[in-house]
Chains A and B, each alone.
Chain A
Amino acid sequence: MKILTTSFLTCAVKACKSSPLSFPLHYKDAELEQSDIAYNPRFLINILPRIDWDAVRVTATELGFTVPEEKPELPALDASSSTDTIEPADEKTLRELHTLLLETEVREGKLVCGNCGHEYKIKEGIANFLLPSHLGEFELFPFCFLH
């Protein structure tokens, strides 16, 4: 599980969607691994505006990394040009983001919802988001519980 993916995951329990406590999910007992993924500056420039940096900071801290307080600013790239000229300072930032967001992976551990406490297990990098049906469907039939 990449930190990039973690920064987009939310608790699958429908009642948690509206709670600010359900994001980000919190790592417990995480075992890390560095993977090797092709450096992709255009992807980072595309995705960074959508990343909640505060959530990345929470996750990074839980995993033992230190990241800047402010989200780094990146240049816009010309979509029609295939050759990119990137300033050395931006290049350094992009490489660091690449390592943190794409190459740092959690192989084993748990992601825990801060609202409902549900634990999503991660085994060999695969996160189990299957919900027991009573959790998944609770919001669909709220009135059943009144009778």
Chain B
Amino acid sequence: MSRPEETLPPDLFYSDAESRKYTTSSRILSIQSSMTHRALELLNLNTPSLILDVGCGSGLSGEILSSIPPSEGGPHIWIGMDISASMLDIALQRDVEGDLLLADIGQGVPLRPGSIDAAISISAIQWLCSADSSDVSPVGRLGRFFGGLYAALRRGGRAVCQFYPKNDEQRSMICNAAIKAGFGAGVLEDEPGTKNAKLYLVLTVSGGDVPKGDITG
């Protein structure tokens, strides 16, 4: 099976049928949920926060953010961005609490500087490297995205992006773009070397604490 981001841009790939498939597969739901919880653990938020969900899709992660109990620092309020109108339509039908923006993260983040406490992104940012209808290069789109995200985060804020790079070259292209935007960056790999391996890009805006443990990858 070819990787979806190699075949079509995400707004075309996630047609209504594909979006529904994504949101109803129990295997995908459970993986998405465990990655969201892992990302939240790495964000280490201790108070209800404003979180940007980058590539929020049908709001699976957002629902988790909305339901974190006060004893665990929640519930959080979130804003979701996604380029797929079909995915957002499902989020709407599922009546999620977050505000939804139909937007291309490769065009930047339309938020005021220092707006958000944190950002989370599950299986989305590798799309920035894929072929696109616009004539801007992946490096240009990555620069737009990370530059916008860096500005939108409050000082001391943190972002965690779980991603699936196609190869090492793409992985370093993504990391370098984040560092160039000003972030402190580390890659954490869960279950390395297995088919369940997951990569998390942990990004900090200066003023924040560095997450515990080795994140230098």
By a beta-carbon cutoff of 8 Å, the part of chain A in contact with chain B is 1-2, 4-5, 8-12, 14, 23, 37-38, 40, 42-43, 46-47, 50, 52, 79, 82, 102, 124-131, 133, 136-137, 140
Contact = CB atoms under 8 A, between A and B. Distances in A.
A9 B110 contact: yes
A59 to B, nearest CB: 13
Contacts, number: 99
A140 B70 contact: no
Given A37-B97, A43-B77, A79-B46, A10 B112 contact: yes
Given A46-B49, A125-B100, A137-B136, A82 B70 contact: yes
Interface residues of B, number: 38
Nearest to A41: B48
Instruction: Indicate the member of A37, A38, A124, A126 with the most B CB atoms within 10 Å.
Output: A126
A25 B135 CA distance: 28
B102 A127 contact: yes
A4 B102 contact: no
A10 B70 contact: no
Contacts of B50: 4, 8, 43, 46-47
16 contacts: A8-B50, A8-B111, A10-B111, A42-B47, A43-B48, A43-B76, A46-B48, A46-B49, A47-B50, A126-B100, A127-B99, A127-B102, A128-B101, A130-B103, A137-B134, A140-B136
Interface of B: 46-50, 70-71, 75-77, 79, 81, 83, 88, 92, 97, 99-104, 107-108, 110-112, 114-117, 133-136, 140, 144, 154
Nearest to A129: B103
